[in-house]
């Protein structure tokens, strides 16, 4: 293979990307060396098994991916702003909408939410870490290296270009030769391992490690949404694993699952993909619902309205999410009966979702709302999400879908649910729990400014797209026609508003780090749930002692009784896991094996896989049993944190 086949050549934008990668990497290496921080990086971050630090790494990576996916989006919007613009050529445009979609779902939305779950769920249920902290680190590094593998495709080997859904036969070896599609398959496969492991880990953590007295139906809603989400992950992700594996075997070893020869069935891919893909959208929306429920209850200063209905509606949504996948391809021609069945099951989902909307409104009703930035996101979510949801029901009607299918109407719909649902929730959740994570709030003024820019930008971007869709503009079109100019131009202006909002959000992180007042109490918002009972910064063992939980709003009850998570009479040594470099090394080796397989260098790939197996053998013989935090150390830590 020649070097110019290995690196992507000929595109000025990609050369600019290469230069910026080299510059940023060299700057990071320089800074780490200059300030002698390599050891710190290894000891404190790369080898950590602490759920709070892993969560921070998830969120940082997700913000980086939001930036990358956002730049992709802006490039697409520039290309679509004027008819006949030659900013991107057709091939480059195909690559960019593919990476935009894949990155935003797999490498931005999920890790952002999993990051928040990592930090908050153990604190909400009164656990000292995950059930399997080592596995948690493994999960993070599998996501990290999966994202890395997917992202380097645009400078090495070429990006995938068959859409985030990667339908066959277009994505098969015959019509899509070269490494691009392999990056998609193996990048997703690698990060999928981590997602499944996280699902199992969270489920065991929630089922087995709750504080005394916290029955399942006394658990905060965000933890409930995590439990339901991990259930969906466990039952949906293996389907993706198989689908990706089958296409990989098709492409590299010549099998005939999704091919046009050998009696293969290309539409089988669409079925398998969406049997995972539809539950996947609930994997990214249910935790968002959980976050909004926490935020709304806190700033309406009321117990969440209809707690049981909230929980049961989530469980119902999770069950239904597995029964609707065909609505993604009503036009495949499965027949009127099949389409009707899936049409009805799709519309059924609107019922539990409607229940949730009314419960949020019920919580707000007659309450004294405190308009903080996280609350603003939550309030903007409700009407925006309803627009997305109602247009979803329109798409769910099989007969009408023949008109909407693959048009900008669909694009507008899923951006309305995914941005107004998931992205607003990520911002709300990060701003809400920020003081717990970093010991100071984000600046409210800048936060609100970025909120308005982003929310107005969002509606300006996507509302016109409904009408573009009704005017017949198909999705994935790289060159628009003059009659669609006005709406497309408005949409592009809105996209830059969202970009500015995001930039301001990131700037706010820096600004608040420099100027915000430090938290002293640990209870920054007059919180209702157990995470606010810990001091800030949170000691690495989270809870010195645990009170008995009597209520859904555990901390409200504790404040009434004057209880804390530090009862000197009940102190005992705390068992904690040790740090380990193994997860990082194991996943780095698996990354290299996958990278070799992308280029179909089978021998090299096998060599690295043997390396992975050796790491597993080492782990099997590992007798590291963790360490104990002694009572004296707990006393010292807690006394200084609580100013006793």
In the complex, the residues that contact another protein under the rule CB under 8 A are: 131-132, 196, 199-201, 203-204, 207-209, 234-239, 241-243, 245-246, 249-250, 253-257, 259, 261-265, 268, 272, 275, 613, 617, 620-621, 623
* Of residues 109 and 203, the one with the C-beta less far from another protein: 203
Residue 622, C-beta contacts closer than 8 angstroms, at least 6 positions apart? 582
Q: Which is nearer to another protein, 241 or 367 (CB)?
A: 241
Whichever of 86 and 620 has its CB closer to another protein, that residue is 620
In whole angstroms, how close is the CB of 258 to another protein at the nearest point? 9
Identify which of residues 206 and 285 has a Cβ nearer to another protein in the complex.
206
Q: How far is CA 105 from CA 113, 278, 466, 608, in A?
A: 11, 12, 21, 29
In the complex with another protein, the residue whose CB is nearer, 131 or 364, is 131
Q: For 420, which DSSP code?
A: I
Q: How far is the CB of 197 from another protein (least distance, A)?
A: 9
For another protein, give the closer residue by CB, 265 or 477: 265
Please provide the DSSP assignment of 309-346 as one string. Answer: HHHHHHHHHHHHGGG-GGGGGGGG---HHHHHHHHHHH
Cα 431 to Cα 442: distance, rounded to the nearest angstrom: 7
Comparison of 63 and 574: residue with beta carbon closer to another protein = 574
The distance of closest approach from Cβ of residue 145 to another protein in the complex, given in angstroms and rounded to an integer, is 21
Nearer residue to another protein within complex by CB, 200 or 315: 200
- Minimum Å distance from CB 221 to another protein? 22
Smallest distance, another protein to C-beta of residue 442, A: 36
In terms of CB distance, is 165 or 256 closer to another protein? Answer: 256
Task: Please state the closest distance from residue 440 (CB atom) to another protein, in A.
Answer: 35
**Contacts for 303-306: CB closer than 8 Å, 24+ residues apart:** 303/363, 303/528, 303/552, 303/553, 304/221, 304/359, 304/363, 304/552, 305/359, 305/360, 305/362, 305/363, 305/365, 306/355, 306/358, 306/359, 306/362
Contacts of 288 (CB under 8 A, 6+ apart): 113, 421, 422, 424, 425, 426
Least distance in angstroms from the C-beta of 262 to another protein: 4
Structure tokens at 309: 């209905």
Distance of CA 518 to the CA centre of its chain: 28
Shortest distance (Å) from residue 202 CB to another protein: 10
Min dist CB 592 to another protein, Å, is 20
In order, the DSSP letters of 175-195 are TS-SSHHHHHHHHHHHHHHHH
Question: Strand, helix or coil at 254?
Answer: coil
Q: Which of 508, 523, 513 is nearest to 554 (CA)?
A: 523
Task: Report in angstroms how near the CB of residue 323 gets to another protein at its nearest.
Answer: 15
Instruction: Extract long-range pairs of 9-16: CB within 8 Å, 24+ residues apart.
Output: 11/92, 13/75, 13/88, 13/92, 14/154, 14/155
Question: Cα–Cα distance between 267 and 173 in angstroms, integer?
Answer: 16
- Lookup result for tokens 């089988």: 268
Nearer to another protein, 84 or 263 (CB): 263
> Which residues in 221-366 belong to E strands, given as ranges?
none
| Nearest approach, Cβ of residue 237 and another protein (Å) | 7
Report, in Å, the least distance between residue 638 CB and another protein.
24
Cβ distance 54 to 136 under 8 Å? yes
Name the residue among 567, 577, 578, 548 with its Cα closest to residue 631.
567
136 vs 359, beta carbon nearer another protein? 136
Q: Which is nearer to another protein, 581 or 626 (CB)?
A: 626
CB of 324 to another protein, least distance (A): 17
Q: Which residues pair with 518 in a beta bridge?
A: 440
Q: 627 by DSSP, 3-state: which?
A: strand
Q: Which is nearer to another protein, 389 or 577 (CB)?
A: 577
Question: Do 379 and 425 touch, CB atoms closer than 8 A?
Answer: no
């Amino acid at each position: 293979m020649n070097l110019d086949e290995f690196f992507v050549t000929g595109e000025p934008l990609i050369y600019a990307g290469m230069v910026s990668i080299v510059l940023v990497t060299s700057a990071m290496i320089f800074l780490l060396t200059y300030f002698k921080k390599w050891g710190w990086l290894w000891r404190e971050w790369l080898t950590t098994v602490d759920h709070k630090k892993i969560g921070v790494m998830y969120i940082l990576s997700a913000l980086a991916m939001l930036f990358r996916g956002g730049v992709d989006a802006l490039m697409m919007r520039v290309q679509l702003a004027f008819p006949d613009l030659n900013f991107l050529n057709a091939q480059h445009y195909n690559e960019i909408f593919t990476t935009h979609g894949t990155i935003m779902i797999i490498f931005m939305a999920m890790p952002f939410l999993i990051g928040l779950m990592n930090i908050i769920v153990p604190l909400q249920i009164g656990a000292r870490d995950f059930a399997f902290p080592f596995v948690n680190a493994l999960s993070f590094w599998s996501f990290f290296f999966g994202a890395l593998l997917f992202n380097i495709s645009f400078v090495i080997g070429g990006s995938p270009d068959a859409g985030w859904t990667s339908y066959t036969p277009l994505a098969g070896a015959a019509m899509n030769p070269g490494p691009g599609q392999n990056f998609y398959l193996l990048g997703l496969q690698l990060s999928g391992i981590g997602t499944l492991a996280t699902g199992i880990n969270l489920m065991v953590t929630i089922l087995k490690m709750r504080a005394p007295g916290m029955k399942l139906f006394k658990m905060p809603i965000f933890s409930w949404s995590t439990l339901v989400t991990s259930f969906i992950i466990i039952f949906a992700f293996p389907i993706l694993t198989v689908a990706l594996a089958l296409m990989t075997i098709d492409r590299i070893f010549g099998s005939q699952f999704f091919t046009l020869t050998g009696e293969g069935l290309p539409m089988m891919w669409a079925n398998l993909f969406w049997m995972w893909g539809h539950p996947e959208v609930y994997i990214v929306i249910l935790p968002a619902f959980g976050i909004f429920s926490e935020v709304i209850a806190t700033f309406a200063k009321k117990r969440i309205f209809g707690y049981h209905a909230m929980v049961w509606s989530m469980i119902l949504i999770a069950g239904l999410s597995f029964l609707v996948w065909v609505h993604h391809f009503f036009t495949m021609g499965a027949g009127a009966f099949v389409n009707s069945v899936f049409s009805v099951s799709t519309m059924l989902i609107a019922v539990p979702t409607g229940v949730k909307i009314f419960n949020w409104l019920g919580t707000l009703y007659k309450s004294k709302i405190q308009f903080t930035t996280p609350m603003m996101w939550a309030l903007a979510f409700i009407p925006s999400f309803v627009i997305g949801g109602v247009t979803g029901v329109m798409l769910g009607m099989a007969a009408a879908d023949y008109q909407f299918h693959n048009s900008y109407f669909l694009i507008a719909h899923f951006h309305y649910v995914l941005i107004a649902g998931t992205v607003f929730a990520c911002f709300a959740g990060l701003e809400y729990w920020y003081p717990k994570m970093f010991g100071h709030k984000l600046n409210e003024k800048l936060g609100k400014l970025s909120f308005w820019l982003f929310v107005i930008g969002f509606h300006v971007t996507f509302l016109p797209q409904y009408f573009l869709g009704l005017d017949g503009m198909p999705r994935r079109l790289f060159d628009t026609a003059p009659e669609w100019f006005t709406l497309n131009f408005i949409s592009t202006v809105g996209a830059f508003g969202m970009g500015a909002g995001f930039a301001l959000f990131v700037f706010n992180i820096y600004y608040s780090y420099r100027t915000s007042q430090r938290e002293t109490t640990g209870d920054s918002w007059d919180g209702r749930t157990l995470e606010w009972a810990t001091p800030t910064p949170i000691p690495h063992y989270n809870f010195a002692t645990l009170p008995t939980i009597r209520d859904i709003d555990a901390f409200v009850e504790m404040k009434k009784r004057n209880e804390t998570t530090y009862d000197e009479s009940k102190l005992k040594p705390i068992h904690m896991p040790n740090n380990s470099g193994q997860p990082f090394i194991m996943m780095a080796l698996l990354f290299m094996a996958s990278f070799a397989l992308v280029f179909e260098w089978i021998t090299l790939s096998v060599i690295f896989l043997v390396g992975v197996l050796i790491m597993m053998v080492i782990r099997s013989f590992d007798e590291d049993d963790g360490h104990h935090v002694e009572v004296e150390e707990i006393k010292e830590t807690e006394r200084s944190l609580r100013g006793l």
